[in-house]
Amino acid sequence: MLSKLFPKNYDFYTLFETSAGLIVNAAEAFQQLLSKGEDDGRSALATKIRELESRADHNTHQTMTLLHKTFITPIDRQDIHDLIKRLDDILDFMDAAASRIILYEITQVTPELHSFARINYESSLLVHEVVSALKDLRNPSEILRLCIEINRLENESDQLLQKAMARLFKEESNPLAIIKLKEIYELMETVSDRCEDVANVIENIVLEYS
Amino acid sequence: MLSKLFPKNYDFYTLFETSAGLIVNAAEAFQQLLSKGEDDGRSALATKIRELESRADHNTHQTMTLLHKTFITPIDRQDIHDLIKRLDDILDFMDAAASRIILYEITQVTPELHSFARINYESSLLVHEVVSALKDLRNPSEILRLCIEINRLENESDQLLQKAMARLFKEESNPLAIIKLKEIYELMETVSDRCEDVANVIENIVLEYS
Amino acid sequence: MLSKLFPKNYDFYTLFETSAGLIVNAAEAFQQLLSKGEDDGRSALATKIRELESRADHNTHQTMTLLHKTFITPIDRQDIHDLIKRLDDILDFMDAAASRIILYEITQVTPELHSFARINYESSLLVHEVVSALKDLRNPSEILRLCIEINRLENESDQLLQKAMARLFKEESNPLAIIKLKEIYELMETVSDRCEDVANVIENIVLEYS
């Protein structure tokens, strides 16, 4: 009961950081997956990403349970809910893209796939950094600078998608190959959209508390 | 004027349940539609789903009107707004999927279409149940259990989409048939995403009031 | 310091109107783009839309900066944040559609493209009108009427997408042409979805303040 009145508030921050750390791990595994040949551990890396996604699900569930047991939260209840759900979304789309590379038997790893994986890895590092920075809201300008960096990468990802699709239509004539790569490109671009959603939630938190 | 100060609060719950009931009806009609041949009442069932969607639109509009006339709401104004809009979204995607089956003249009802329709029907029952449970927030654990069930079905739907697409690319060679079915599969999967959005809004309400 | 305590509140409204004005300009440029031949200034108009989108980004950034410097805001902080971001989204999708028309070298301007551009132009005028009306919340019924009009156009856009796709599948046999136009149609339909999101945020503001 006392622990309910005097919650260990840092727990929420630890849970956020856990999800953010899983995102970084998945982004790393994604880059490794792209560098492997089809019979050289690609499936194992997709499975690893799926496991990281399950652990994030579990972490989201734990956060919600803690939220229901806690009277006084360090930041607004809805912000905690939104933040952990948006972090979860990032991993969902990484997993969706990775599993489609396996399912669609994509053998031709285009330069654009590598570029998306690089942008998503950089975004994941920024997400991890900004989530860690949340613990101390006394320096909002640094937090907002990180959010702007995440938005910048989302713009870059958007431009990349346009160029990737233009080249695909020019150089690939097989419609099925186009449909498959288009879907994977779009899923990888959505990863950076979801990182931007996290930045938006964090901007909101900073607006309220700093 | 007095009725404005002492609103019949249960009205909002009745309006939520009306929308949830329309969703269940539409999910039932969708399953029937898939079991019919092209000249055997399919269009009539798509029209029925369209009518249910219109009634939900009307119900959303009534909820917003009531919201504007009510001083004291039983739950947060924004939550009422979000919940009725998210319920509306579910029917929009059911209608979009049904109308495309007719418009694209899909004659080949794949097993995956049946599976999506079954998942969406189960989700609609859970949405109806959890919306009805909102009236009494004294039992939050039951409400949260239903939300977790809805999330579980969304995961199932997600996995189904992946398997459906993998099989489609393997067994169908006509790109137009692939594009059409891919769009319908994705719309049907989005139905369970929107059910999850409803669960998210309800989790938020429970967080605030229980 | 005094200016921080006594903010020029109208600034936020000016910033909203600036973004809404840029949206109207972009919707106009889009209609002009469709009426031009490929070597007749189409690229210049797509570039113009890109520039309008950049100016909206800059305006969003300025709004966020002002929000962080302002103690007392005329409307809820989160609503200001949401509204400027949703306005920004509209221009993002207009830009995405315009740039794909150029990138995919769409020479065949279908009647449906013109219809989407017309709906988006009408929606942009309504968005501008409703954003301007926000300054005076004493007349909520007029604001809500405009929101309903925006929703009506979104429904129209949705119906247009269905008819456009049905005709495309019937009359076009080249899968690549279908994939390209389908993507552009969907992006143009998403513009009206994002206008509806703006209407939703504004409905929320009216609910809280009127």
Q: Return the minimum-mean-pLDDT range out of A144-148, B2-6, B182-186.
A: B2-6
pLDDT at A10: 54
Nearest CB partner across the interface for A140, out of C68, C78, C180:
C68
Lowest mean pLDDT among A163-177, A196-210, B40-54: A196-210
CA distance A166 to chain C (A): 6
Over chain B, what is the mean pLDDT?
91
ipTM, 2 dp: 0.83
Q: How far apart are CA C189 and CA B44, in angstroms?
A: 26
pLDDT at residue number B5: 46
Residue A9 pLDDT more than 60? Answer: no
Task: Among A161-170, A179-188, C130-139, name the one with the lowest average pLDDT.
Answer: C130-139
pLDDT of residue B71: 82
Is the pLDDT at A110 greater than 90? The verdict is yes
Taking residue B7's Cβ as centre, other Cβ atoms within 10 Å add up to 17
Lowest mean pLDDT among A8-12, B76-80, C19-23, C196-200: A8-12
Q: Give me the pLDDT at residue B28, please.
A: 98
* Banded model confidence at residue B9, pLDDT cuts 50, 70, 90: low
- For residue A148, name the pLDDT band (cuts at 50, 70, 90): very high
| Cα A6 from Cα B155, distance rounded (Å) | 35
pLDDT at position C68: 83
To 10 degrees, the CA torsion angle through B169, A191, C79, B64?
A: 20
Q: To the nearest whole percent, how much of chain B has pLDDT over 90?
A: 77
Q: Which residue, A107, A99, C208, is CA-closest to B67?
A: C208
* Closest-CA residue to B108 (of B49, B192, B176): B176
Across the range C85-103, mean pLDDT stands at 96
* Across A151-158, average pLDDT: 95
Find, among B209, B1, B205, B210, the residue nearest to B83 by Cα. B205
Closest CA to B60 of B35, B41, B33, B80: B80
pLDDT at A77: 87
**pLDDT at residue C76 in the model:** 87
- Collect all residues of chain B within an 8 Å Cβ-Cβ radius of residue A89: none
- Residue B111: the pLDDT is 97
Least Cα distance to A126 among A55, A195, A56 occurs for A195
Look at A176 and B179 and tell me if their CB atoms are within 8 Å.
Answer: no
Task: List Cβ neighbours of A81 (8 Å cut-off, separation of 6 or more).
Answer: A64, A67, B200, B203, B204, B207
Ranking A185-194, C62-71, C165-174 by mean pLDDT, the lowest is C62-71
Residue B58: pLDDT band (50, 70, 90) is very high
Q: Could you say which DSSP state residue B173 is in? A: -
Residues of chain A with C-beta less than 8 angstroms from the C-beta of C81: 200, 203-204, 207
Q: What is the CATH number of the domain that holds B199?
A: 1.20.58.220
Q: Report the pLDDT value the prediction gives residue C5, as an integer from 0 to 100.
A: 46
Domain of C99 in residue numbering reads as: 2-209
Is the Cβ pair A176, B169 closer than 8 Å?
Answer: yes
pLDDT for the residue numbered C6: 47
Nearest to B204 among A81, A99, A103 (CB): A81
> Does position B83 have pLDDT exceeding 50, yes or no?
yes
Can you tell me the mean pLDDT for C20-24? 98
- Residue A71: pLDDT band (50, 70, 90) is confident
Please say if the pLDDT value at position A139 is more than 90. no
Q: Which chains lie within 8 Å of chain C at 3 or more CB pairs, if any?
A: A, B
Q: At A41, is the pLDDT very low, low, confident or very high (cuts 50, 70, 90)?
A: confident
Domain count, chain A: 1
CB environment B129-140: b (16+ within 10 A), e (fewer): bbbebbeeeeeb
When scoring A159, A203, A209 by the number of chain C Cβ atoms within 10 A, the one with the most, hence best to mutate, is A203
Chain C residues touching chain B at CB-CB below 8 Å:
140, 144, 148, 158, 162-163, 165-166, 169, 173, 175, 178-179, 182, 200, 203-204, 206-208, 210
pLDDT tens profile B123-158: 999 999 999 999 888 888 899 999 999 999 999 999
Q: How far is A209 from chain B (nearest CA, A)?
A: 19
Q: Average pLDDT, stretch B17-41?
A: 92
